Structure 1
Amino acid sequence: MSSTRRAPALSPSRANDYSQCPLMFRFRTIDRLPEPPSKAATKGTLVHWVLEHLYNAPIGRRSPEAAHALVPNALTAVQARTPDLDTMFESEADKKQWLAEAGKLIDRYFTLEDPNRLEPAEREVNISALLDGTMRIKGIIDRVDIAPSGAVRLVDYKTGKAPRPQYSASAAFQMRFYAVAMREARGVTPAMLQLNYLGDSQVLRNEPTEADLDQAKGKIISIWDDIRRNAERDEWRPRTSKLCGWCSFQSICPSFGGTPPELEQGASAKVWLEPPTLFDRSMSEIADDPAS
């Protein structure tokens, strides 16, 4: 592996971070401040692992029982990624309840789709592309289905509830972000984007047009341009909203009386102004990119 510092890559989650609050974006991508593990997010990781590996079983054997049998291995995989996992729980009973909630989400999946009628073309797909030759985007798509007609469907599992209409733009943008990356990297325009919400058994589908993806691409480029301007100035201002209540950085946010850590001069440029000269590196390296 080359020792050259990797160029930055913008993912849907980081693009959403920036749109929500540039200062939070800085804390996560430049300062790389630690955040306490989240029960909800870690539960989602466990459920995603189960649904990915469920499709290793042959058609006819993809049952709720088979899915639940994967939970111990999924928990081992999650613990490997989150060594301090057990610190989230107040007691063994608390952890047992958390696992029970994950089990309910797994069961709910089978009310949305019959996995025995599906044969995904790809699962947990790392996708990366360049926009305008200078801006790298990337993401991990939960599932790619290809119909006999050749039509492509991108599927994402959500372990929460479907958002209210006024908060649905973020999820829709995430899926179009993936679709833009797929089109730019592979020359394929997905025929359908699908969100499976396990929290309340809702399935949201969208059939994007080329114009829709052009618009999404323009938005991504606009976010990239804004990030670059902030990086050139080392200036990341907070943006308050109702979502601040869930932010783990409130104690150091000036909007709440806190003081951010001092940013070394040029630190932003080192992370976000590096030219994308290493585009031919492997997908595993892209997945581990420090700007993810």
Structure 2
Amino acid sequence: MAQMAPAEPALGVRRPALSPSRASDFKQCPLLYRFRAVDRLPELPTKAQLRGTLVHSVLERLFALPQPERLPERAKALLEPAWSELSADRPDWTALFDAEEPADVREWLTGAEKLLDAYFSLEDPRRLDPEACELHVEIELDSGVRLRGYVDRLDVAPTGELRVVDYKTGTAPREIGEAKALFQMKFYAVVLWRLRGAVPRQLKLMYLTDGQSLAYTPDEPELRRFERTLEAIWQAIMRAGRTGDFRPSPSRLCDWCAHQALCPSFGGTPPEYPGWPDPDPGAETPLDRAD
């Protein structure tokens, strides 16, 4: 008997979609995708991940200020209020810090200040007027694949050219990190191209850990090829979703995986396959967007 395809969700429920983080997960390791998108296993964040989430939030708030007020000291003054708001309902986040040692949080915030210093060394936000920060983008391709994600910042020139900007605060190995980052940026470029009918003029990655930036210029033939890659990834996810056959793909990135105890490559046993999730295996979290 033929296997049934994953069912469409009920009216009013968001359809399953592919996000850049989940697409990257499946490309890296199908079992990791299953753990995150299907089983939705909890992952305790690291302090570095939380710091990235905080810095992204502060930069979003900074660009909400009038241009003359976008100064380094103003950005640093936003850190503690932003952290209080972000962590208010997340005891798992605050538990990473020693409640009896205020210096623990202070040292962590100092690390965030250094990332903001690096940001200001790369550009002057007083001279910029972004169209949007933390922009939600979503589109369904002609093939039926739905793409969904959040763009850190979208700049639009007076002449209409688009620039997609992404802040990177993580500490993954540089060559691996850059490949994943460019994958993410091309994902956004495809979505914006299909939404607006124009290929982004520039994809800009800002590495705040070392104060460097990387600019990339895509073209339409490249984005057409990448669109086919995304469609192939989604088709592979659908095949795995029908059978539950999400196989591990060991690599150097296993060293950073939170699920080694459940991975067959490390002698573990995954939980019983719960079936294809409803409604939305493509959702990203703030931690994903602060990678």
> In 2 relative to 1, CA 181–235 (structure 1 residues): closer, same or farther, beyond 3 Å?
same
Matches within 5 A, 1:196-275: 196-264=206-274, 267-268=275-276
Which residue of 21, 30, 33 maps to 1:22?
A: 30
Identity of aligned residues (%): 47
Residue 101 (str. 1) matches residue 111 (str. 2): yes
Matched residues, number = 274
The structural deviation recorded for 1:223 is: 0.6
> In 2 relative to 1, CA 60–163 (structure 1 residues): closer, same or farther, beyond 3 Å?
farther
Three-state SS of the structure 2 residue aligned to 1:88 is coil
Query: Which fold has the larger relative contact order, with Cα–Cα distance below 8 Å and residues 6 or more apart in sequence?
Result: 2
Residue 158 (str. 1) matches residue 175 (str. 2): no
TM-score of the pair, normalised by structure 2: 0.88
CA distance in 2, matches of 1:161, 1:36: 17
Which residue of 172, 181, 193 maps to 1:183?
A: 193
- What's 1:278 paired with? none
Which residue of 69, 75, 78 maps to 1:70?
A: 78
Letter in 2 for 1:223: I
- What's 1:277 paired with? none
Deviates more, 1:157-166 or 1:104-113: 157-166
Query: Structure 1, unaligned stretches of length 5 or more?
Result: 274-285
> In 2 relative to 1, CA 147–81 (structure 1 residues): closer, same or farther, beyond 3 Å?
farther
- What's 1:281 paired with? none
CA distance in 1, matches of 2:220, 2:70: 35
Contact 1:227-1:272 within 8 A present in 2 as well: no
Three-state SS of the structure 2 residue aligned to 1:244 is helix
Letter in 2 for 1:77: E
Three-state SS of the structure 1 residue aligned to 2:210 is coil
Three-state SS of the structure 1 residue aligned to 2:88 is helix
- What's 1:121 paired with? 131
> In 2 relative to 1, CA 32–165 (structure 1 residues): closer, same or farther, beyond 3 Å?
closer
Three-state SS of the structure 2 residue aligned to 1:141 is strand
Three-state SS of the structure 2 residue aligned to 1:168 is helix
CA distance in 1, matches of 2:26, 2:123: 34
Deviates more, 1:57-66 or 1:107-116: 57-66
CA distance in 1, matches of 2:89, 2:11: 24
Contact 2:143-2:231 within 8 A present in 1 as well: no
Query: Structure 2, unaligned stretches of length 5 or more?
Result: 1-9
The structural deviation recorded for 1:188 is: 2.6
Residue 85 (str. 1) matches residue 93 (str. 2): yes
Cα RMSD for the two superposed structures: 2.2
CA distance in 2, matches of 1:254, 1:163: 24
- What's 2:148 paired with? 138
> In 2 relative to 1, CA 162–152 (structure 1 residues): closer, same or farther, beyond 3 Å?
farther
CA distance in 1, matches of 2:37, 2:104: 32
Residue 42 (str. 1) matches residue 50 (str. 2): yes
What are the Cα deviations for residues 193-244 of structure 1, in whole angstroms up to 9, with x where unaligned? Answer: 1001101111100111001111211111111111011111111111111111
Deviates more, 1:174-183 or 1:71-80: 71-80
What are the Cα deviations for residues 220-277 of structure 1, in whole angstroms up to 9, with x where unaligned? Answer: 111111101111111111111111111110111111111111113xx1275689xxxx
Contact 1:162-1:200 within 8 A present in 2 as well: no
The structural deviation recorded for 1:6 is: 2.7
